[in-house]
Amino acid sequence: MSTAIQTLIDGPAGPLEIAFQQPATAATALALICHPHPVHGGTMDNKVVQTLAKAFLELGYATMRFNFRGVGNSAGSFDEGIGETEDAAAALAWARLFYVSHDLWAAAACLSIAVLATVPAIVVAWRAQTWAGVLLLPYLGWLGVATSLAAGYAWRN
């Protein structure tokens, strides 16, 4: 396997740190790998993220990991999931510019993007009207079930 190339790309809050790696053979697809929650120590060098990258490389995928804003050399600070979703979209857009002809797989550790997007929405709704936040709680529960099902499916296949 090749060594990961680390660089900075333009992101919504300033430079985003990325690590890009090609498999030993021609890439069949590209995997965009997001790290766990940045406030709890998640980085693109997290063991889970590294393991996902290694697995995708062994499958013949090119991989791109990146640090959300405020993590590592990425500019900015934690933005309650809203800005982090923008960071993922910017990384995805950058990846698509260079890998248009390849399939793209997005791997999110524990559905981090969905949770990062949902929790702030619940907080905002809760602050506006308590009942609005309560109505969104089942969706967060569904994310937990979806995570369990996806993990179970991946484990068995």
Q: Give the residue-averaged pLDDT of 105-129.
A: 69
pLDDT per position as a tens digit, 20-34: 898 888 888 888 899
Please name which of 33, 71, 26, 31 lies closest in space to residue 49, comparing C-alpha atoms. Answer: 33
pLDDT per position as a tens digit, 138-153: 877 777 666 666 656 5
- pLDDT tier at 136 (50, 70, 90 boundaries)? confident
pLDDT at 71 over 90: yes
pTM: 0.66
Q: Give the residue-averaged pLDDT of 90-119.
A: 65
Alpha carbon of 50 to those of 69, 77, 80, 139: distances in Å? Answer: 19, 23, 24, 29
Q: Would you give the DSSP letter of residue 157?
A: -
- Burial readout 57-81 (b: 16 or more C-beta within 10 A, e: otherwise): beeebbbbbbbbbbbbebebeebeb
Please name which of 136, 141, 142, 144 lies closest in space to residue 120, comparing C-alpha atoms. Answer: 136
Domains within the chain, CATH numbers bracketed = 5-117 (3.40.50.1820)
Quote the tokens at residue 104: 């793209």
Q: In whole numbers, what is the pLDDT of the chain averaged over residues?
A: 81
CA distance 11 to 93: 10
Beta bridge partners of 5: 20
- Residue 100 is predicted with a pLDDT of 56
pLDDT per position as a tens digit, 46-59: 998 999 999 999 99
Q: Give the residue-averaged pLDDT of 100-128.
A: 66
Longest dimension (CA), the chain: 54
Contact 67, 73 (CB under 8 A): yes
